[in-house]
Chain A
Amino acid sequence: MLYIVKTALELGFLYALVPMALFLSFRVLDIADLTTDGCFVLGGAVSVSFALAGHPILGIPAAMIAGACAGFVTAFLHTHLKIPAILAGIITNTGLYTVNLMVMKWSSNLSILKTPTMFSMLKDTGFGGAWYQVILAAAITVVMALLLMWFLSTRLGLSIRATGDNIDMVRASSVNPRFTITVGLCIANALTGLSGAMVGQYQNTIDINGGTGIVVIALACLIIGETVLGRRSLRKGVWAAITGSVIYRIIYAVVLYTKVVPVQGLKLITAIVVALAIAFPTIKEWAAFRKAKKNGNRKGGTANA
């Protein structure tokens, strides 16, 4: 049992930066950024490559920069070339497949066999005992959460938030919305890249298809977190990303362990959960309309009779 909790916490924190990135792009900027899947693998590929070259620590900022570049491409396609945001993300994502292969020296997976990773380096110091991976992943994730909250309260952060809220007002405040969208997407994808970087070094390997569907899983995490914590404030949103990610991994671990659902079925369930959660307001409205219609008919009927 303890093992399940430990693994869930590890994976929860390692992957939490992806829902945090989606919080920034999808909730704050109101842009569905589908760069995520490819960007996650890019981060992993860069960090594993650096680790193989003997620079596991340097691989982390490098992966973030690579992620930010991917975000920049999507933002450029969207803001300057006027490609709809969803399509811009898909285009970048498709291109990234080749870029990722290139980073992985044209092989479909890359493994660290002997060189140290940041996890093995921490393990060697003996810090944290058996929980060293949880501690490192949690520390990085929480620091990023605090940095993101601080950033969103700065003047630049305020303009990014207003961009998703009322883009006309941003222009009226002498801020270029193209700039705020670009900065927002760069930061979001840097976070996704960082998550990929941590996962790559944690698993000692990265696979070219390792990011498939991660955007939907991350959305599910964000929605789970928001359901638990509420989505009133910015602060809650950031913590919701982490909380949701941990809860999702606990559910995942329980499913793996108890086999109530075959593990292969989990992506379908995730997809259904996300679709239902996002459709929830519409379903509620439809139900209310049905009810009103039924009541109206009944009343109309009595009046006629």
Chain B
Amino acid sequence: MLDLIHISKTFNPGTVNEKKAVSDLSVHLDDGDFVTIIGSNGAGKSTLFNAVAGTFYVDSGSVILGGQDITYLEEHKRSRVIGRMFQDPLKGTAPSMSIEENLALAYLRSSEGTSPFSRIGRRDKELFREKLALLGMGLEDRMKNPVGLLSGGQRQALTLLMATMVTPKVLLLDEHTAALDPATADKVMELTRRIVSESHITCMMITHNMSQALETGNRTFLMSDGRIVYDVKGEERSRLTTQDLLRKFREGTGRDLDNDRILLSE
């Protein structure tokens, strides 16, 4: 589904602040792969996501999504087939607009060909209500409320819905539960697993929770210095413990995993 072929990205080239964020990274994701990503500080995890989403263009290499070369496709055009969530619940929604209006915006991704002057119709509203009900947060009865009134967890659940309402070819989750309290984080994680498996979405998730990284999805990357140093799936993965992951990291890089927020267990 997603192919990254020898991609590299260097920030501030030729200055003292030069930083090779991703270097010569190649990876292939199968349709329906759910990859969890663990890495040290500055390993290039978010840069990898930015390269896929098109926040910037890569310096070299190509990005192929569903057979289409999107290396030089603009960010807003890619977003038609790429869903994305950040750690900050404020990033994914427009606070002064209502829940319904936020969903209508997210639904624009499916609306190629419809008139820009059309409005939210009754059928759209029914669809939104149905989808909101699936979150189990009672948001379906508050569709006219501004999103700014929702809690972080509710906003993040809404963002998840918005990112997946039009099924994306790939979903990028950048520590999307890290800013939530544990109970809410569990709930959003549960929703994520359900939606991803129901819609059979190809997904990459950055996390700093090592046991979550092993429990969720079917594949795990360890990243360091802009490279994937360990890529594991299948039976080998199912036998791994968090201690094994730490050892693999040391073997791959010759260093200990230094992420100041890493969680070894729940």
Q: What residues of B have a CB within 8 angstroms of the CB of A168 in the complex?
A: 91
Within 8 A of A (CB), among B118-147: 118-120
Which of B76, B118, B119 has the largest count of A CB atoms less than 10 A from its CB?
B76
Judge whether A155 and B104 touch: CB under 8 Å: yes
B166 CB to nearest chain A CB (Å) = 9
> Given A162-B105, A170-B105, A172-B79, are A155 and B117 neighbors across the interface (CB < 8 Å)?
yes
SS class, residues of chain A in contact with chain B: helix
B101 CB-CB contact with A under 8 Å = yes
Query: A172 and B95 in contact (CB under 8 A), knowing A155-B104, A156-B116?
Result: no
Contact with B along A209-246 (1 / 0, CB 8 A): 00000000000000000000000000000000000000
Q: Which of A45-53, A66-74, A119-127, A173-181 contacts B (4 or more CB under 8 A)?
A: A173-181
How many A-B pairs have beta carbons closer than 8 Å: the answer is 79
The contact of A154 among B92, B95, B102, B119, by CB within 8 Å, is B119
The reply on A293 being an interface residue by CB < 8 A is no
Contact with B along A159-187 (1 / 0, CB 8 A): 10110011011111111110000000000
| With contact pairs A155-B116, A155-B118 given, residues A171 and B76 touching in the complex (Cβ less than 8 Å) | yes
Contacting residues, chain A, for B83 (C-beta < 8 A):
172
Assess whether B15 is interfacial by the CB under 8 Å rule: no
- Does A263 belong to the interface (CB within 8 Å)? no
Across the interface, B80 reaches (CB within 8 A) one of A156, A161, A174, namely A174
Contact indicator B101/A166 (Cβ below 8 Å): no
In the assembled complex, which residues on chain A have CB atoms less than 8 Å from the CB atom of B101?
158, 161-162
Contacts of B95 in A (CB 8 A): 165-166
A169 and B117 form a contact (CB under 8 A): no
B residues contacting the other copy or chain, number (CB 8 A): 32
CB nearest neighbor in B for A178: B76
- Ranked nearest first, the 4 interchain pairs of A and B with the lowest CB-CB distance are A165-B94, A156-B116, A174-B80, A166-B94
Cβ contacts A to B, 14 pairs, < 8 Å: A154-B119, A155-B111, A158-B108, A159-B105, A165-B95, A165-B97, A166-B90, A166-B91, A169-B94, A172-B84, A173-B79, A173-B105, A173-B108, A174-B80
B interface residue numbers (CB < 8 A to A): 74-77, 79-80, 83-84, 90-97, 101-102, 104-106, 108-109, 111, 114-120, 163
